[in-house]
Amino acid sequence: MDDFDLRDFANVTRLFPLPKVVLFPHVVLPLHIFEPRYRRMTEDALAGDRLITIVQIKTRPKSEGWTEPAPIEDGGCLGRIIRHQRLDDGRFNLLLLGIQRVRLRGEPPSEKLYRVAEVDLLHDLAPEQPEEPRRIALIDLFRRVVGREHGLDPDLSKLLDARVPLGVVVDVMAHALSLPIGLKQALLNEPSIENRCTVIQDRLEQIERIAGSIPRDRPFPPDFSPN
């Protein structure tokens, strides 16, 4: 079975809300499942289509406290369990592969322990210009900036060497870079490959400018200021 095949998907998905976690398509997210409701969710997923949607819990002021059901973002990422380990006490270790962006329409009534939602699949909007020149330039910039000090992860480097589409390249970079969680959510919400590419390129160029202004005998990134 093709992990990305969604022809039988009925636009209703299991929800796994998490704080400060954004999953992108083509990225693998390791998960440890221990709460009873999410153990049940995992059991149901493994018995069926193996699909779970990761959606970020909205940040709220500490003064408001924690409420259930927690408020969640409108955009999430549908993922498929590609590997699992069932532990003796009922917990699970999972590898979840991001499949496709989704937009939540609403949460229908359900008797399940976990939340479910009706969603629309969001398809990438391709750039008007040919992708290849932009893809080559972006990968070169990424290698130059991210590999400046420590080199690239071998698996990531291998992926960048492959002729994968620009949309995949941009999503993998969005996952790999240490971006503010709000920006990651905005990139997940954005169907335009061109717009996502521009954001990643601007951020990489900003990092490169900062790195170039720091003497080489000083660490990068620099220590936080005590002010």
Higher-pLDDT residue of 167 and 67 is 167
In a 3-state reduction of DSSP, which class is residue 194?
helix
Q: Considering the entire predicted model, what is its pTM?
A: 0.88
- 226 has pLDDT over 50: no
pLDDT band at 200 (very low <50, low <70, confident <90, very high): very high
pLDDT band at 153 (very low <50, low <70, confident <90, very high): confident
- 58 has pLDDT over 80: yes
Instruction: Provide the pairing of β-strand 51-57 with 12-19.
Output: parallel
pLDDT number for residue 65: 63
pLDDT number for residue 224: 36
Single-letter amino acid, residue 210: I
pLDDT band at 151 (very low <50, low <70, confident <90, very high): confident
Residue range 99-141, pLDDT digits in tens:
999 999 999 999 999 999 999 999 999 999 899 999 999 999 9
- 85 has pLDDT over 70: yes
Other beta carbons less than 10 A from residue 73's beta carbon: 17
pLDDT band at 64 (very low <50, low <70, confident <90, very high): low
Radius of gyration of the chain from Cα atoms? 19
Say how far apart CA 137 and CA 201 lie, in whole Å: 9
Say how far apart CA 224 and CA 143 lie, in whole Å: 25
- 227 has pLDDT over 50: no
